[in-house]
Amino acid sequence: MNKLIKHALEAGKKAYAPYSKFSVGAAVELNNGEIITGANVENASYGLSNCAERTALFSAYAQGYRKQDIKAIAVVTNTDNPGSPCGACRQVMSELLPSNAKIYLGNHKGDLKETTIEELLPYAFKPSDL
């Protein structure tokens, strides 16, 4: 199993998902080899929840890393098939990931899908649209 997927799987164990029981872990791989993880954190007011993908990316940015520092991201869900990022995460990923970043989607059974942000969100809203 891919090292990045293993980190995402471990991160998912830290998810706070008492309402949906939908645990998600994410791991961002930097060009220097460092890996930054995140897990989803729910809130009784669902709109205030945060997804694992955004948690990991926001953490990387909060540590001073930027899109040119990122190589890949992995997202692992506790579902029968590899889960796909929600629309909000796709939009954030389209701005914070480099266009050539690998995106790996996996599940606890070891299924894996590789994709790109262009495949996930072909008509992303970009800063140039402002």
Catalytic residues: 53
DSSP state, 129? G
Rama region for 64: left / alpha / beta (φ>0; ψ in -120 to 50; rest): left
Q: HEC string of 55-120?
A: HHHHHHHHCCCCHHHEEEEEEEECCCCCCCCCHHHHHHHHHHCCCCCEEEEEECCCCEEEECHHHH
